[in-house]
Structure 1
Amino acid sequence: MTKQERLLMLSDLMLLAVAAVWGTSYGVAKSALAFYPVLGLLALRFGITFVILAPALRHLRGASARALREVLIAGVLLLGIFLAETFGIQMTRAANAAFLISLCVVLTPLVEWLLLKRVPSRVEGVAVLLSLFGAWLLAGDGALNFNPGDALILLAALLRALTVCVTKRVMRDPALPPLTVTAVQSGVAAAGSAAVAWLFAPRQWQPLPTFNEHATFWAYVAYLVLACTLFGFFAQNFAIKRSSPTRVSLLMGSEPAFGALFACLWLGERISSTAWAGGTLIVAASILATVRWNVSRTSAAQT
């Protein structure tokens, strides 16, 4: 196995781990929102992440003007994702959110085709359809009553697809390591959340819960920062640098399945057998995208 193949395998495993972590983030974020408002929580989460990653900003000095512009765009898109996603979760059912955010898997190949001129492979197309059908089952036999929260989650799915493709172009610049890109994205998300709160929702700024009286809240914040943000976005950017946006989205497509499992274990939600079948199909689609891609790649290398 070559070094490139080992790195690709590592990035695949990291993406599956991120899918599991991000699947739990909905329940954790919902629990944290019981203590602190949306915009304040986002500013806190990404502000702490930015401070931790600030030393990585030194690499920006060697980046081109185009790369700097695109990494800022990626940061604005990330801000949009979390604003739409977090407010959307408050306004809709978890099952609706799981289905609609999974549409990112379907939207990414289309966005990649338009922005990066890469036509999805036949195997990727099959995996996309399989993942979409699984998400439909996971949502509860497709019982989707559209509401404003659903519209926000759908917007977040589209922004996710755009972000993956824009980040792919950013990561083509060898001067920008994944940690640097994550630092810029976090800084833009933190500043943007604070600005939106300051200008449009001043009530979102409240005194921070004290550690002594609300240690649980700070445990939630630590998990969101360390696992869901630092590890999650580093791993995603690391994988995007070595793979295609469609492949990354397919591997991340198992996120709703992990989210359903976490909701069952952590929040006590009841999951139907149909929903479990849907989650299994989503995970199967991620495995198909990984295994078949490696097989075809190996065959191509031998010819």
Structure 2
Amino acid sequence: MTRRAPEILVDVLLIAVAAVWGASFLAAKELVAETGVASGVALRFVVAASALGILCLLRRERMPRGRGLVIAALLGCSQAAVIGLETAGVHLTSATNAGLLISLALVFTPVLESIAARSWLPRSYFVAAVAAVAGVALLVSGGGLRAPNPGDALVIAAAVVRAVHVTASGHLTRGREDSTLAVVFVQLVVCALASTAVAGADLAPAVAGLSAAGWADVIFLGLLCSVFAFVVQLWAVRRTSATRASILMGTEPVWALAVGVAIGGEAVGLPGLAGAALIIAASYAGQAIERRHRRSRAEASGGADGEAVSSGRRSVAATGPRSSP
């Protein structure tokens, strides 16, 4: 039976979100080569916060207050930490490595969530986690085993912080009715203020000396990778299953690999390709195992399956746009 056009449109848009997220690593690497890490991050988030602020104004979104505002601001701080680590990492390693290594957050997040829920994951999940770690070793080996370089280590640290951010987002925002767009706007404002403060006096010269290609990267990261991707995923996930959305948006590391090699001209040897395949496969397997575990717990307790857009990745309502570099 032929699928309806709206369903196809949803799939195409979700794949587009994954594609721009995957391409964000190369764009970030090119941008910070011109501006420096702090200035590049500041420019990206000033643009994103400004655009989303206009959207919130047009939609007359009600801003969070009281405890909701505090929670949004705290999540903005952790979001800023993720972005800073990712961007600093991609500056020192390849865009391909960064795009694949950050997907380890898919493995780390369910572990943190299981600890918070006091419900340990099945052993098969940790087999997938070990496979992901083996994939990392192959990816960064450069043809022979070695420790990750500083950029690789920063991106792995970003994956850990992202896992903490996603877990905290789910617990802190559960049961709240604050506008999703407004919460994300607060987070982006915090990110913009924090990165601008860190950039300090370096920001103005970075803006003045930015090339046309650099401005294109700023617009791509600020508008497409943040505002466009978030609005599209928010629209799309309400029109398809959480599982399908998770699978389609989970193709991000595949796009990161493709963009890094095809457009960035980055070389990935056979050990690196094997490592990339292991990371991607282990991430998908880990998601599937965690999802089945959560469903079985829900059925056992007689509760509903509270599946989010992407288990172990992000709750759309809680975390807003992905924290890409």
Q: Report the TM-score when normalising by structure 1.
A: 0.73
Asked whether 1:23 is paired with 2:22, we answer: yes
Asked whether 1:268 is paired with 2:270, we answer: no
Name the structure where helix makes up a greater proportion of residues. 1
| Preserved contact between residue 171 and residue 237 of structure 1 (Cα < 8 Å) | no
Alpha-carbon separation, structure 1, partners of 2:273 and 2:39: 35
Q: Which residue of 1 aligns with 2:3?
A: none
Alpha-carbon separation, structure 2, partners of 1:116 and 1:206: 48
Change (3 A) 1:136 1:258: farther
- Select which of 273, 281, 285 maps to 1:284: 281
Q: Which residue of 1 aligns with 2:79?
A: 78
**Per-residue deviation, 1:153:** 2.4
**Per-residue deviation, 1:77:** 0.6
Alpha-carbon separation, structure 2, partners of 1:70 and 1:237: 20
**Per-residue deviation, 1:229:** 1.4
Asked whether 1:44 is paired with 2:46, we answer: no
| Partner SS for 1:35 | helix
Asked whether 1:107 is paired with 2:104, we answer: no
Q: Report the TM-score when normalising by structure 2.
A: 0.69
Alpha-carbon separation, structure 2, partners of 1:296 and 1:153: 28
Alpha-carbon separation, structure 1, partners of 2:37 and 2:148: 22
| Partner SS for 1:224 | helix
Residue type of the partner of 1:230?
V
Alpha-carbon separation, structure 2, partners of 1:114 and 1:160: 16
| Preserved contact between residue 136 and residue 279 of structure 2 (Cα < 8 Å) | yes
Kindly, what percent of the aligned residue pairs are identical?
33
Residue type of the partner of 1:20?
A
Residue-pair matches, total: 282
Q: Which residue of 2 aligns with 1:229?
A: 226
Alpha-carbon separation, structure 2, partners of 1:175 and 1:168: 13
Alpha-carbon separation, structure 1, partners of 2:231 and 2:128: 25
Alpha-carbon separation, structure 2, partners of 1:113 and 1:277: 29
Change (3 A) 1:193 1:29: same
| Preserved contact between residue 181 and residue 237 of structure 1 (Cα < 8 Å) | no
Change (3 A) 1:287 1:148: closer
| Partner SS for 2:33 | coil
Alpha-carbon separation, structure 1, partners of 2:255 and 2:111: 25
Alpha-carbon separation, structure 1, partners of 2:206 and 2:95: 29
Asked whether 1:183 is paired with 2:178, we answer: no
Return 5+ residue gaps in structure 1 as ranges.
Answer: 1-6
Q: Which residue of 2 aligns with 1:166?
A: 168
Change (3 A) 1:153 1:288: closer
Q: Which residue of 2 aligns with 1:145?
A: 147
